[in-house]
Amino acid sequence: MQICMGHHCLIFQLLHADTIPESLVYFLADPEFTFVGVGVKDDAGKLLDDYQLRVGRTLDLAQTAAEKFQVPDFGRRGLKRLAMELIGKVMEKPKHVTLSEWDTKTLSYEQIEYASIDGYVSLSWVCS
Give the DSSP letter string of 53-93.
---S-EEEHHHHHHHHTT-GGGGG--HHHHIIIII------
pLDDT (tens digit, 9 = 90+) per residue, 94-115? 889 989 999 999 999 999 988 8
pLDDT at 56: 94
**Which tens digits make up the pLDDT trace of 17-42?**
999 999 999 999 999 999 988 889 99
Report how many domains make up the chain.
1
Tell me which DSSP letter residue 15 carries: G
- From 77, 95, 83, select the one nearest 120 (Cα to Cα): 83
**Selection from 85, 81, 34, 80 nearest residue 55 by Cα:** 34
User: How far is the C-alpha of 48 from the C-alpha of 61, rounded, in Å?
Assistant: 20
Q: What is the pLDDT of residue 8?
A: 85
Cβ atoms of 82 and 64 within 8 Å: the answer is no
Instruction: State which residues form the domain around 118.
Output: 2-127
The pLDDT value given to residue 127: 60
Mean pLDDT of the chain: 87
Q: Give the pLDDT score at 80.
A: 81
Assign residue 52 the CATH number of its domain.
Answer: 3.30.420.10
* pTM, entire model: 0.81
